[in-house]
Amino acid sequence: MTTKLVLASNNAGKLKEFGQLLAPLGFEVHAQREFNVPEAEEPHPTFVENALAKARHAARLTGLPALADDSGVCVNALGGAPGVHSARYAGEPKSDERNNRKLVDDLAAHGDKSAYYYCVLVFVRHAEDPQPLIAEGRWDGEIIAEPRGEGGFGYDPYFLLPASGKTVAELDADEKNRLSHRGQALRALVEKLK
């Protein structure tokens, strides 16, 4: 049986990746935009609380099971910033270009460029689900000052994978999904759905 679910995100990059990751698994996936679900508030200090808020919001407004992702880049020399604030690091309106510029500027004086992507996924069967399924993923790398590559989204052109010498934006979609924080989290979540 195929499970129909709503993806509680308006981020085009995430939606594309979830489409690729979920397609082979037999889910019928709909973006929340198809149901005119407005962006949820994300006021919380943790990824898991924000992901839960997004999932409940989409489930409440659609009556469907919902999957939400809260994610970001955490930079060690910056005490874990931008972290949960990654999407709005350089303020409103959200802008990947300004976020990336601010990140590079903020890191310029630091020798330690190590960072990691972090993703929490929350699945709720309905808005009041007392047992949300939760999974996480982490992906280590370093922040570089000059962008490279055209793939991915967000911070990817500045996120270097030292093992391959490539940025995430230089990976093809399948490679990114195999390695990424989001791919890891989704595979862990799917195990819990079984």
Ligand X SMILES: O=c1nc[nH]c2c1ncn2[C@H]1C[C@H](O)[C@@H](COP(=O)(O)OP(=O)(O)OP(=O)(O)O)O1
Binding site for ligand X (CB under 6 A): 9-11, 14, 39, 42, 54, 69-73, 86-87, 99, 117, 152-156, 180, 182
Tell me: is residue 123 an annotated ligand-binding position.
no
87 near Mg ion (CB under 5 A): yes
Between 55 and 87, whose beta carbon lies closer to Mg ion?
A: 87
Find which of Mg ion, ligand X, none residue 86 binds, CB within 5 to 8 Å per kind: ligand X
d(CA 136, CA 10): 20
58 near Mg ion (CB under 5 A): no
| Candidate segments 83-91, 122-130, 157-165, 184-192, binder of Mg ion by CB under 5 A | 83-91
Strands (E), 18-162: 27-31, 66-75, 114-124, 133-143, 159-161
Let me know if 112 is a catalytic residue. Answer: no
Tell me: is residue 95 an annotated ligand-binding position.
no
Evaluate whether 173 touches 142 at the Cβ level (below 8 Å).
no
Strands 114-124 and 133-143, how do they pair?
Answer: antiparallel
| Candidate segments 75-83, 84-92, 107-115, 135-143, binder of Mg ion by CB under 5 A | 84-92
Phi/psi of residue 173, nearest 5 degrees = -60, -40
- Angle CA(35)–CA(48)–CA(113) in degrees, nearest 5? 110
Tell me: is residue 181 an annotated ligand-binding position.
yes
Tell me: is residue 9 an annotated ligand-binding position.
yes
Evaluate whether 95 touches 35 at the Cβ level (below 8 Å).
no
SS3 state of residue 52: helix
Between 97 and 130, whose beta carbon lies closer to ligand X?
A: 97
Calculate the alpha carbon distances from 94 to 99, 126, 180 in Å: 8, 29, 22
Residue 173 CB, nearest approach to ligand X (Å): 11
Binding residues are 9-14, 41, 70-71, 153-156, 176, 181-182
User: Residues annotated as binding site for substrate?
Assistant: 9-14, 71, 153-156, 176, 181-182
Catalytic residue annotation = 70
- Which residues sit at the interface with Mg ion, rule CB under 5 A? 87
